[in-house]
Amino acid sequence: MNWVVLCVAGLFETFWAYQLKCSEGFSKLLPSVLTIGGMIVSFYLLSLALKSLPLGVAYAVWTGIGTVGTVLVGIFVLKEPVSVVRIVCVVLIAAGIVGLNLSSRA
């Protein structure tokens, strides 16, 4: 269950990063409020997951999900450029998340 909580925390990290972009330097009210709310939810869920998961693994998974999710939002929602190098790097980050998850269960 803690892994699910951690994954949701990572998704909220992606959410708040996107809203931060939409806030245009905190100059737009709604995206600014959503950014702060998303941060609070993300950090709270991370704190719950850390009750039983190792710090290094949980933090790496949390930031990895946020990173991969943010890159994907950039590509698919914000129409940022796609390149082979970007895709390979995202795949490597995802592989690292899976590897850390598997190694923590050993």
Q: What is the pLDDT of residue 102?
A: 82
Q: In the numeric block, which tokens belong to residue 12? A: 């909220």
Q: What is the pLDDT of residue 100?
A: 81
Q: Is 53 left (phi over 0), alpha (psi -120 to 50) or beta?
A: beta
At 60 the three-state DSSP class reads helix
Dihedral, 66, 103, 49, 77 alpha carbons, nearest 10: 20
Split the chain (106 residues) into runs of 10 and give each run's mean pLDDT: 95 98 98 98 98 92 94 97 94 89 73
C-alpha to C-alpha distance for 76 and 64, rounded to whole angstroms: 18
The model's pTM: 0.89
Q: What is the pLDDT of residue 103?
A: 81
C-alpha to C-alpha distance for 44 and 23, rounded to whole angstroms: 22
